[in-house]
Amino acid sequence: MGGRFGTDGIRGPVGSELTAGLAVGLGRAVGHLLGGGGRSVVIGRDTRRSGEMLSAGLAAGLAATGTDVVDLGIVTTPCLVHASGDDRHAAGIMVSASHNPAEDNGLKVVAGGRKVDDAIETQLDQLIDDERAIPELPNAELGRLRTEPEAIIAYRRHLADIAGDAFRGLRIGIDCANGSASVVAPDLFRDLGAEVTVLFDAPNGVNINDGSGSTHPQRLAETVGAAGLDIGLAFDGDADRLIAVDERGELVDGDAVMGICALERLAAGTLRNNLLVATVMSNGGLERVIREAGGRVVRTPVGDRNVYEAMERDDAVLGGEQSGHIIFRDRATTGDGLLTAIELVRAVRAAGVPLSELAARIPRLPQVVINSAVRRRDDWRSDTEFVAAIERATQQMGDRGRVLVRPSGTEAKIRIMVEGDDANEIDTIARELATLAEARLN
């Protein structure tokens, strides 16, 4: 079969693409390829009902290769990654579809505190298809299953050490998306000295990301504005993203968060090489303000792996995506919504002004993004009519803006982004391209 891995591991609908059999196969493949030497593999999951089934399958497959399994239960993806970086563990596997609806799930393999590369994913894919390449073991040689609550405690201590007293006395609202943040964020921020109003922290297996979290932060925005809270923090299903809300109830997206933190670090001299790494989807206003402050922005294709690779290559410590998936490389090896919240609050406290004032310093060019549902998302470059329309739109914008088209790496959609100074013009262009995409690519 092959080709299971996308930009963020294996992801898709449960019962058709994501099955118990696939989880067993991936567990066997990871155990065979990455296990050995007495080191275990850590697994964790978000709050989807299917997570228990898939975690059990992974554990069975890993144990079948003689690999011990550490099951962390419901954790955030950053917690799983943090735990997997321990030298006692060969790898980690997170069961989560992040911001996707509950019907989906995903399997993400990490090693050494970061996602495995394409070459490893290709080998794992091949091993899933070739079961005979992995020998069966007798009872005495099978792996064992254990829990390790101290790994979660160590992760929380890591965050608390970074936060210091930044949250003391703050009145904050948090939206846990009925996901993994529900089991850690409320108590963490209370322990840090904040008065916490919590939304969407009652996961039931089917309500993750449902009208909540970083993709639907409107309820949090209303709550923060109505209650006069200092700040709102919205996480996604596995808590690797953050969208913030200022004290007036206005949204502060990933670009603004990156800009605020980058400017604070530029002023403090801690933005290594004066560099911020952002994707092609980040707003042109972010690049403009960083450049004016003496920094520079390097753009990458969409995807946190691309961001992290550029950060390593250019020795940057801050990078991320407009979606709120932000990496502080001097703190962690992956995007972490809770860590991002802490870094944002630290920047606000250092500035001594409300979040709204800091967010207003990050200009935003008008930008329209439309996600068009299409069956043939990867074939758009071969459709001459659609490509010609993109070229005409690009020529029309000229130096006044830009047009970006790319397939989603996780959903059957094509993403169309148009940015420029004229809001009406870019809206018209984006809608025309979206309509054509749905007509030509379905």
Which sequence positions are flagged as catalytic? 98
Q: What is the rounded CA–CA span in Å between residue 360 and residue 155?
A: 33
Q: What is the rounded CA–CA span in Å between residue 45 and residue 93?
A: 9
CA 123 to chain centre: 24
| Residues 6 or more apart in contact with residue 366 via CB below 8 angstroms | 419, 420, 421, 422, 423, 426
For the chain, the residue count is 442
> For 2-103, where are the E strands, in sequence order?
10-13, 40-45, 69-74, 89-95
Task: Write the single-letter amino acid at 316.
Answer: A
| Residues 6 or more apart in contact with residue 244 via CB below 8 angstroms | 231, 232, 233, 234, 251, 252, 256, 257, 341, 344, 355
Give the CA diameter of the chain.
70
Find the helix or strand (DSSP H, E) in which 109 lies. Answer: strand 104-111
Residue 202: exposure state from Cβ atoms within 10 A (0-12, 13-18, ≥19): exposed
Q: What is the rounded CA–CA span in Å between residue 258 and residue 61?
A: 40
Task: Write the single-letter amino acid at 24.
Answer: V
| 98 in Cβ contact with 63 (< 8 Å) | no
